[in-house]
Amino acid sequence: MFDVVVIGSGPAGYVAAIRASQLGLKTLCIEESADSDGKPTFGGTCLNIGCIPSKSLLDSSQRYYEAKKNLSDHGIKLEGVKLDLETMMKRKDEIVSKLTGGINGLFLSNKVKTISGKGKIINQNIVEVKKPDGSSEKVDAKNIIIATGSSPIEIPSANFGKNIVDSTGALSFDKVPKKLGIVGAGIIGLELGSVWSRLGSEVIVLEALDNFLPMTDPDISKESLKEFKKQGLKIQLSSKVIQTKELENSVKVKYESKGEEIEVEFEKLIVAVGRKPNSSEVLPRNLGISLEDGFIEVNEFCQTSIENIWAVGDVVRGPMLAHKGSEEGIMVAERIANKQAQVNYGLVPSVIYTHPEIAWVGQNENELKSKGIKYKVGKFPFSASGRALAVDQSIGFVKVLSDLKTDTMLGVHVFGPAAGEIVQQALISMEFGSSSEDIGLTMFSHPTVSEAFHEAALSVNNQAIHIGNKRK
């Protein structure tokens, strides 16, 4: 009998398992994915085929682009710059392998038991594990944590095949497509489009929505669209794919845009329209746990209607983000151990790892307006940052939104260098209820790109030093 059985070892699952074991709970983690020897491969989508490999390729492709296009501006002249895609992919795989092995080491050091196989809940205290060799084993559990993650959504008009791939396939091309189509201008689509565009692909992004990145602040949506088009990404809004036809070495795509049907041929087509929760196969229908659009219904503590069964990460409501899942995993482990823990869902940071980066935390202007919340705005461009200019990354801005009366920060939005790191500074400040004045009174190192956050906070109250302030 285990105190805790975790199904899935992605960022939500392995963190939950480690924390549970640290708290003295006898813990087992079940992982379906396995290597050629039948040993589980830990880390889930994020580590193996998502966050980590994509960031590796984003970094490598940016270095290649800089070497080929921009270094001459720095007085560095290179000739004969060549792409070795095989080596680039090998580096990516080595990073993944290292981190996967790291999780196994963490399990061993924290005394988390593991088993390779597909876990399915039989009743509230029994999980059946179907192993790679076809055998099965039943495991007794006092508590069960479902952390089975999510999978790419397949659309009827573009079924996955040889030349129509999901995000996983897009991370493993053996050559650079001459012409690449991407369905969906969300986070995944933009990041993958950036990688292959830098490496030489002609990239066309087809987005069904009329608005670009509608979840971001309107200023970021507007400015980032301009910049990505400038970089060569051909982003076509209001463009819905209605038909595809796979050929031997290409894909014919028919899409509708503003009432007109257009046909285009791509070497490869990436479908990046979102992900769906992996919930259907882990839960028996007669268990009594409700699903909504595939998401397992839970309370604010990630507890299902059966008190000893919990669900975390991509299988429950909220953004499908690794860090959100990890925090839920820690919260659940601590609540099982009778500790008081919670997740602040109002402050979940988001980052898009394009170049420049996009990041935000809290509410944007559209959200504040819809709620009737009165606010004030501070904004500072990276073009006025000495450090940003020195490192040739002066595109974008930092934007701070604060309550009109209390000055409490309500949202921070960044488009530019180190956006993900700057937003983390904002997040910590907002967790402690900081006002924009508090940030303005804080000393920042000079020269750093973080100073843009400082100046944006000062700008909220018309006190910015290095740009002109709004007239009162």
Interval 208-252: pLDDT, tens = 999 999 999 999 999 999 999 999 999 999 999 999 999 999 999
Q: Which CATH number fits domain 2-152+276-345: 3.30.300.30, 3.50.50.60, 3.10.20.30, 3.40.140.10?
A: 3.50.50.60
Interstrand relation of 234-236 and 202-206 (parallel, antiparallel or unpaired): parallel
Report how far Cα 343 is from the mean position of its chain's Cα atoms: 18
CB 397, CB 452: distance < 8 Å: yes
Residue range 405-432: mean pLDDT, rounded: 98
| Parts of the chain belonging to CATH 3.30.390.30 | 356-460
CA distance 32 to 110: 21
Report the b/e string of 307-316 with b at 16+ CB within 10 A: eebbbbbbbb
CB 41, CB 33: distance < 8 Å: yes
3-state secondary structure (DSSP) of residue 386: helix
3-state secondary structure (DSSP) of residue 204: strand
Residue range 326-343: mean pLDDT, rounded: 97
Query: Is the confidence at residue 76, as pLDDT, over 70?
Result: yes
Residue range 123-127: mean pLDDT, rounded: 96
Interval 424-448: pLDDT, tens = 999 999 999 999 999 999 999 999 9
Query: Is the confidence at residue 133, as pLDDT, over 90?
Result: no
Query: Is the confidence at residue 463, as pLDDT, over 90?
Result: yes
Q: Dump the DSSP string for 22-55.
A: HTT--EEEEE--B-TTS-B--SHHHHHHSHHHHH
pLDDT level of residue 471 (50, 70, 90 thresholds): low
| Annotated catalytic residue, options 74, 323, 413, 446 | 446
Query: Is the confidence at residue 282, as pLDDT, over 90?
Result: yes
**What does the block give as tokens for 65?**
């682009």
pLDDT of residue 229: 97
pLDDT of residue 49: 85
Residue range 52-81: mean pLDDT, rounded: 93
pLDDT level of residue 472 (50, 70, 90 thresholds): low
**What does the block give as tokens for 355?**
């170049």
Interval 7-64: pLDDT, tens = 999 999 999 999 999 999 999 999 998 877 777 889 998 888 889 999 999 999 999 9
Closest CA to 147 of 351, 25, 304: 304
Burial of 113 (0-12, 13-18, 19+ CB in 10 A): middle
Residue range 121-126: mean pLDDT, rounded: 96
CA distance 343 to 324: 8
Helices (H), 302-442: 322-336, 365-371, 386-390, 419-431, 436-440
CA distance 395 to 114: 47
Burial of 5 (0-12, 13-18, 19+ CB in 10 A): buried
CB 266, CB 250: distance < 8 Å: yes
Interval 134-150: pLDDT, tens = 899 999 999 999 999 99
Report CA dihedral (16, 20, 22, 25) to the nearest 10 degrees: -160
pLDDT level of residue 286 (50, 70, 90 thresholds): confident
pLDDT of residue 285: 84
Name the residue with tokens 């983000």: 321
Q: Which fold has domain 356-460?
A: Enolase-like; domain 1 (3.30.390)
H helices then E strands: how many in the chain?
Answer: 13, 24
Query: Is the confidence at residue 192, as pLDDT, over 80?
Result: yes
CB 320, CB 314: distance < 8 Å: yes
Report CA dihedral (178, 184, 190, 194) to the nearest 10 degrees: 0
The predicted model scores a pTM of: 0.95
Active site residue 446: yes
CB 399, CB 456: distance < 8 Å: yes
- Check: CATH 3.40.50.720 for 164-273? no
**What distance separates the 2 farthest-apart alpha carbons in the chain?**
74
CA distance 193 to 186: 10
Inter-helix orientation angle 85-109/11-22, to 10°: 20
pLDDT of residue 415: 98
pLDDT of residue 70: 84
pLDDT of residue 392: 94
pLDDT of residue 137: 95
CA distance 314 to 50: 13
Q: What percent of the chain stands above pLDDT 70?
A: 100
pLDDT level of residue 461 (50, 70, 90 thresholds): very high
CA distance 217 to 413: 7
Residue 272's identity, in one-letter code, is A
CB 234, CB 121: distance < 8 Å: no
CA distance 143 to 28: 11
CB 315, CB 295: distance < 8 Å: yes
Phi/psi region, residue 190 (left: phi>0; alpha: psi -120 to 50; beta: rest), is: alpha
Interval 35-49: pLDDT, tens = 777 778 899 988 888
Closest CA to 68 of 186, 200, 179: 200
Interval 365-381: pLDDT, tens = 999 999 999 999 999 99
Interval 162-175: pLDDT, tens = 999 999 999 999 99
Report how far Cα 168 is from the mean position of its chain's Cα atoms: 14
Could you say which DSSP state residue 235 is in?
E
Q: What percent of the chain stands above pLDDT 90?
A: 92
- Please enumerate in sequence order all residues whose Cβ is within 8 A of that of 332, keeping only pairs 6 or more positions apart, or say none: 16, 145, 301, 302, 303, 310, 312
Backbone angles phi, psi at 7, to 5 degrees: -100, 105
| Parts of the chain belonging to CATH 3.50.50.60 | 2-152+276-345, 164-273
Residue 121's identity, in one-letter code, is I
Interstrand relation of 295-296 and 350-352 (parallel, antiparallel or unpaired): unpaired
